[in-house]
Amino acid sequence: MRSTTTITAAEPSAEVPEEAEGQTPLPERLMTELTAHRTLALREALGNDWDTAFLAVLHAFCLRLFYRSAADTCLEIEAKSAGFGTQAPGLNDTASAKAIDVRHEAWVKQLPATSSELWDALVGFDTDTRAALFAHCAALTINALHETWNRRPGALAHADRLAQAVGLDMAAAGWVPTVETYLGRVPKARILEAVREAKGEHAAQLIDHLKKPEMAQEAERLLAGTGWLPEPLRTPGLPDEAAAVPPADGDADAITALPAFLVDAENPAVPQAIAG
């Protein structure tokens, strides 16, 4: 299939009269036509020069992400970086957020103060430095956020593919199931499901008689250190260590993880009944 190139021409303007004397600007219509030819030729040339194309895209990324401007590039590439601090409490204090901030500030110190000097600075970088900066800029544009008002199944499916490619492990990234982050915000059935997947059926039975607030607190204790993740945080194809080999029923570790008031003093294998 042939690609179709469309360049919108400006409205024709009146030609400069032939009798005009002196050096006058070229007519607007002629400028549009000439630059249309140049644009196509430039596209063809850049399409055969991947190194310069990489540099041009990196330049466009940096203009937007570091200088908040796109006025100094002829590439119509939009690099957006959404902030998610209001979507999840404490998000800006996570290890991932802090690492991104540190890396971004390090690049700020390496880049020039004004956007007009950016191109020359990028030309002066070696290949590895450009590649690292490109990866940082590309990463800042990721938006894998689920929003009820903005259904994007294709984008979220691509986020899964991207997570697979980089081997993303949210447990290793620092996310843990707590009352605040998950357990206190889902029904009891999901709390028990999490404990069952991570610690086995017997561990789930030890807390299934509790009211939800107490169940969430004890589930947090049971899930600590297991690496268990809810479905939206799992990377397809990456083994889920917590759910891969659930412990056998009656696992002593699951019982001893419970506080004393839940375990019979004489027979630790039998949980105490809790009234009310």
pLDDT (tens digit, 9 = 90+) per residue, 73-114? 999 998 888 777 567 878 888 899 999 999 999 999 999 999
pLDDT tens string 121-166: 999 999 999 999 999 999 999 999 888 888 889 999 999 999 999 9
Q: Is the pLDDT of residue 273 over 80?
A: no
pLDDT computed for residue 237 by the predictor: 84
**CA 11/CA 28 separation, integer angstroms:** 9
Q: Is the pLDDT of residue 253 over 60?
A: no
Of 172-176, 188-192, 243-247, where does mean pLDDT reach its minimum? 243-247
Q: Mention every residue, 6+ apart, whose C-beta is less than 8 A from residue 271.
A: 205, 206, 209, 255, 258, 262, 263, 264
Of 86 and 42, the structure prediction assigns the larger pLDDT to 42
Q: Is the dihedral of CA 181, 100, 84, 151 positive or negative?
A: negative
What are 263's strand-pairing partners?
271
253 contacts 224 by C-beta, under 8 angstroms: no
pLDDT tens string 102-112: 999 999 999 99
